[in-house]
Amino acid sequence: MRDRLTAVRLAGCLFASVVLAGTASGAELWLANARVIDGTGAAPSAARSVHIRDGKLVAISEHAAPAGAIDLHGSYLLPGFIDAHSHIEDPASAERALLSGVTTTRVLGDAYLKGIATRDLVRQGDTPGPEMLTSAGHVRPVLGEAFILSFPQFGRYLHAPLTGADQVAEVGRAVIARGADVIKVGASERAGLAQTDPRRPELSFEEISAVVREASAKGIFVAAHSHGADGVNAAVRAGVRSIEHGTYADEATLPLMKQKGTFWVPTLAVMSPLGDPRGDSAEDIALQLRTYHMMKPLREGVRRAHALGIPVATGTDGTYGDGDATARIRIAHEIEELVKSGYTPLEAITAATGTAARLLGVDSRTGTIAPGKEADLLVVDRNPLEDTTTLFEPMLVVNNGKVVLDRMYR
Ligand SMILES: [Zn+2]
């Protein structure tokens, strides 16, 4: 019953909505007349029936669906989006992400372990949200007060930076022990603070390598925040799974990323004018000017990555929150930015689904539409290969076989 009430509330009152009883364990759901974009990069299919049972896709077939199916009338069915770089820290934001079509996300950095706690609430079924793979804060030379208040055993670093591989590895172990699904390291300084220089390296190659060793021993991946060319290079050589941002990645590193299979999450939309703080403070103005400087090399790098065949995945770097400069950014924005950077709409959708699932290591379960996969799905009413703006307004969102948003007219 709670599932049904949640779905009614999620569907909202602005749209004429019909909400099915939730397809909890044991229940079945059929979709009829779906044009399937399966997330592998294959062209859309002709009309298909989709059978879902126990949260999983059972079959995608040419046979007619039984009575009671949701008729998509030829609308487009895609895998749920994967936001490979978000900062979701509370239940309301998790719900907003889900309603935008995000069924899986990697939360790369939270304050006070709020991302970890929100992940746990979603996993327990206490609140709706995407599957969340979550880091516990960031591992960087200056841990910061929010991190240390969550890990008071590192109080000695409140006024002193971490130095050396042993100290960094110890923090890495603590983050894993606290339940992190992924580790975020700082390979270059942040861009979002006016006093920092995003070109300047932070953790060294040896320090990042030490974290990668700790993470690999537990079977988890490391994501490296890195704008500067030297930081990107050190992180790639150290064997991180993904480069986050990668603004000034250069010719010394891009072929190495291709060779090592390093993923790239360029977060173009947050670096664009869309992500500008647009405030009046001197600090906000400095940050706006910085994004104008950073956008050109970032876009050129992504074009180069496309040509080289480096796997690129979508990430918003957004909170899905209420009011901050990144809250408005959605995966559809990032898909549009990839298209502006030379990707076809189909390639950009693949970056948001199948490729992002491989990055997260969840591709055996989700990210593509195939029998046996989790039924993490969204429906849009126009052909997204002709008009990507349709991706801003999902008509139907299904998470683990459960309808969480339904705007289909019947
Ligand atoms: Zn971020």
Domains of the chain: 2-78+368-406 (2.30.40.10), 82-360 (3.20.20.140)
Distance 160 CA to ligand 1 centre (A): 23
* Stretch 196-216: mean pLDDT: 95
Query: Are 291 and 274 a contacting pair, CB within 8 Å?
Result: no
Res 264 pLDDT > 70: yes
Res 277 pLDDT > 50: yes
Distance 270 CA to ligand 1 centre (A): 9
Distance 285 CA to ligand 1 centre (A): 20
Alpha helices by DSSP H, listed for 200-351, are 205-217, 229-238, 254-260, 268-271, 282-308, 331-340, 345-351
Confidence of residue 22 (pLDDT cuts 50, 70, 90): very low
Distance 85 CA to ligand 1 centre (A): 6
Confidence (pLDDT) at 27: 87
Distance 279 CA to ligand 1 centre (A): 20
Confidence of residue 11 (pLDDT cuts 50, 70, 90): very low
Distance 223 CA to ligand 1 centre (A): 10
Distance 234 CA to ligand 1 centre (A): 19
Range scoring the smallest mean pLDDT among 32-41, 152-161, 185-194? 185-194
* Stretch 344-369: mean pLDDT: 98
First to last CA, the chain: 23
Res 198 pLDDT > 80: yes
Confidence of residue 241 (pLDDT cuts 50, 70, 90): very high
Confidence (pLDDT) at 307: 97
DSSP 8-state code for residue 12? -
Res 3 pLDDT > 80: no
CA distance 274 to 101: 20
* Stretch 321-346: mean pLDDT: 95
* Stretch 288-297: mean pLDDT: 89
Distance 245 CA to ligand 1 centre (A): 8
Confidence (pLDDT) at 4: 36
**Token pair listed for 176:** 């894993």
Check the CA dihedral 392-393-398-402 and report its sign: positive
CA distance 339 to 311: 15
Distance 177 CA to ligand 1 centre (A): 22
Res 5 pLDDT > 90: no
CA distance 195 to 397: 41
Confidence of residue 192 (pLDDT cuts 50, 70, 90): confident
CA distance 86 to 122: 15
Range scoring the smallest mean pLDDT among 79-83, 151-155, 162-166, 325-329? 325-329
Distance 305 CA to ligand 1 centre (A): 20
Say how far residue 363 (Cα) sits from the centre of its chain.
Answer: 14
Query: Are 65 and 49 a contacting pair, CB within 8 Å?
Result: yes
Q: Which amino acid is at 343?
A: Y
User: What rounded mean pLDDT belongs to the chain?
Assistant: 92
* Stretch 372-386: mean pLDDT: 98
Query: How many residues make up the chain in this entry?
Result: 410
